[in-house]
Amino acid sequence: MSQATYHFPRGFLWGTATAAYQVEGNNINSNWYAWEQKPGKIINSDKAGLACDWWNGRWREDFRRAAEGAQNAHRMSVEWSRIQPAPDRWDEEALNRYVEMVRGLAELNMTPLITLHHYSDPQWFVDIGGWENEMAAGYFEKYVRKVVYALKDYVNLWCTLNEPNGYAAQGFVVGAFPPGKKDFNLGFKVMVNLVRAHAAAYHAIHQLQSEARVGIANYYRSLQPAKPWFPLDGLVTYLLRTLNNIFPSASKDGVVRFITRHMRVPEAKGTQDFLGIDYYTRDYVSFNLMSSELFSRRFYRPEAERSTTGFLANEPAGMYEALKWGLNYNLPIIITENGFDDAEDRVRPRYMVEHLHQVWRAVNFNWPVKGYFHWTLVDNFEWERGWSQRFGLWELDLDTQARHKRPSADLYAEICRENGISDDMVRRYAPTAIPALFPE
Ligand code: BGC
């Protein structure tokens, strides 16, 4: 029997988030497909292959799983390279499949949140310079108009770009994502073009649909100085933190600021109706003269629990910090992603309730948090980490396409059904979180 429950507001959106390239399979016109074929780019030379086989229709059974798990919303993306496989060609059949998918969500009483760009680009677009091309925003806007016109009867929540800060940094500064470049100046140029593209998309969507709510899924990394009393740790932490702010602040005041650089993009001013936050983990940062990463070294707190591959640390306090940071933008907030790679589901239940408890704290102060999307529904293709990481509430057997439910799926279903977290749930699924969440 529960004795105490943290309740969420009525109408709170509960869902999972997915991305087209990671779940659909056989996305052969995408730049990620080309990238996968190059040796050494993906861990274990993994291939997305059929992925979760959504393109052949398995989205139906997965949406049903989500709905049976009491989720009332789903965040998914549409793939530009499918809808526009060549600059002068639209694939109406592909677009219709997306119409079917969002209709499928509507039939299950789930609110769709549609991402228009989630990391992957059409190969033809990359061949003409991709996001380095000054015309990029114009190409993107055309595609966005096509999609919004087709889906607007079912969708009014739109996310133009997924983690554009991460996309630009990984693809153009760090080099782990295609096109694999390592050039700070190029990184800045790409960010400016992405801000322009977001602004163009924002205005186009509102022109087509007056009731639309448009935002960006902003990647927020919590960064703390390793030695708070040491000024150089503080300085490099401050510099790295600027990466969190680029897109939300550019879409607030129309200025792109990256470390020492500024660029005005006036049309971007006031172009977010909600603030999407993707929060996963927190790093500690120390000054290091030898490091090529802005003279900094990042590491996890040694005591923090790690995900299976050590990729993430369980740092729920960072969720609260992210939401507090989000308040600066005076917008409704949606947690567009939060999750943990954990094949055995050993830490995930705890990670989930501890993070949601931080969300509840924010809601309890009347901060305008409107929804939470867990990453992810079913194990999927994790970009340059291939299939080595398992983020799903449901486990995927890649050989048979069978899905197996992890305990976290049941826990999340109870949370969604209750619209809250009870001590009874935490006792059954994540007893080690009891002292922190429900102290005697
Ligand atoms: C990305 C997802 C990715 C997840 C887990 C997020 O930053 O948006 O596409 O799968 O992290 O790595």
Looking at ligand 1, which atom is closest to the CA of residue 19?
Answer: 9
> Does residue 29 line the site of ligand 1, with CB under 6 A?
no
Beta bridge mates, 126:
none
314 ligand 1 Cβ < 6 A: no
Distance 2 CA to ligand 1 centre (A): 34
The DSSP secondary structure of 339-400, one letter per residue, reads ----TT-SSHHHHHHHHHHHHHHHHHTT--EEEEEES-SB----GGGTTS----SEEE-TTT
Task: Please work out whether the CB of residue 163 comes within 6 Å of at least one atom of ligand 1.
Answer: yes
- Detail the DSSP E strand segments found in 117-235: 157-162, 213-225
Express each pLDDT in 317-341 by its tens digit: 999 999 999 999 999 999 999 999 9
Q: Pick the atom of ligand 1 nearest to 339's CA.
A: 5
Mean of per-residue pLDDT scores for the chain: 97
Centre of ligand 1 from the C-alpha of residue 422, in Å: 28
Q: φ, ψ for residue 284 (rounded to 5)? A: -105, 145
Calculate what percentage of the chain has a pLDDT beyond 90: 97
**Residue 148 banded pLDDT, cuts 50, 70, 90:** very high
Report residue 304 as tokens.
Answer: 């923090």
Ligand 1 centre and the CA of 163: distance in Å? 9
Strands 369-374 and 333-337: parallel
Segment 82-130, tens digit of pLDDT: 999 999 999 999 999 999 999 999 999 999 999 999 999 999 999 999 9
User: Do the Cβ atoms of 131 and 188 come closer than 8 Å?
Assistant: no
Ligand 1 within 6 A of CB of 233: no
pLDDT tens digits, one per residue of 12-37:
999 999 999 999 999 999 999 999 99
Span from the CA of 46 to the centroid of ligand 1 (angstroms): 17
pLDDT at 2 over 90: no
Over residues 152-181, mean pLDDT: 97
Q: Do 217 and 159 contact (CB within 8 A), yes or no? A: yes
**232 CA to middle of ligand 1, Å?**
30
> Which atom of ligand 1 sits closest to the CA of residue 217?
8
Residue 49 CA to ligand 1 centre (angstroms): 18
| Spatial separation of the C-alpha atoms in residues 348 and 193, rounded to whole Å | 37
DSSP state, 270? T
The pLDDT of 160-187, averaged and rounded, is 97
Nearest ligand 1 atom to alpha carbon 166: 7
**pLDDT tens digits, 238-281:** 999 999 999 999 999 999 998 889 999 999 999 999 999 999 99
Atom of ligand 1 nearest to the CA of 311: 12
In the predicted structure, residue 1 carries a pLDDT above the cut 80: no
CA 119 to ligand 1 centroid distance, Å: 9
Binned at pLDDT 50, 70 and 90, residue 283 comes out as very high
Cα of 424 from ligand 1 centre, angstroms = 31
The amino acid that residue 306 corresponds to is: R
- Quick: pLDDT tens for 339-365: 999 999 999 999 999 999 999 999 999
Which of ligand 1's atoms lies nearest the C-alpha of 391?
Answer: 5
In this prediction, residue 291 has a pLDDT band, given cuts at 50, 70 and 90, of: confident
Whether the pLDDT of residue 282 is over 90: the answer is yes
Q: Whose CA is nearest to atom 10 of ligand 1?
A: 382
d(CA 79, CA 65): 23
Distance 38 CA to ligand 1 centre (A): 21
**Ligand 1: residue whose CA is nearest its atom 5:** 382
Which atom of ligand 1 lies at the shortest distance from residue 162's CA?
Answer: 8
Measured distance CA(210)–CA(54) in Å, rounded = 31
Whole-number Å distance between alpha carbons of 12 and 30:
34
Our mutation pick for probing the ligand 1 site, out of 382, 388, 389, 396, counting the most ligand atoms within 8 A of Cβ, is 382
Ligand 1 centroid vs 19 CA: distance in angstroms?
Answer: 9
What is residue 9's predicted lDDT score, i.e. its pLDDT?
98
342 lines ligand 1 (CB under 6 A): no
Task: Give the residues across from 66 on adjacent strands.
Answer: none
Atom of ligand 1 nearest to the CA of 380: 10
Q: Give distance in angstroms: CA of 69 to centre of ligand 1.
A: 22
Ligand 1 atom index nearest CA of 219: 7
DSSP 81: H
Closest-CA residue, ligand 1 atom 12, reads 382
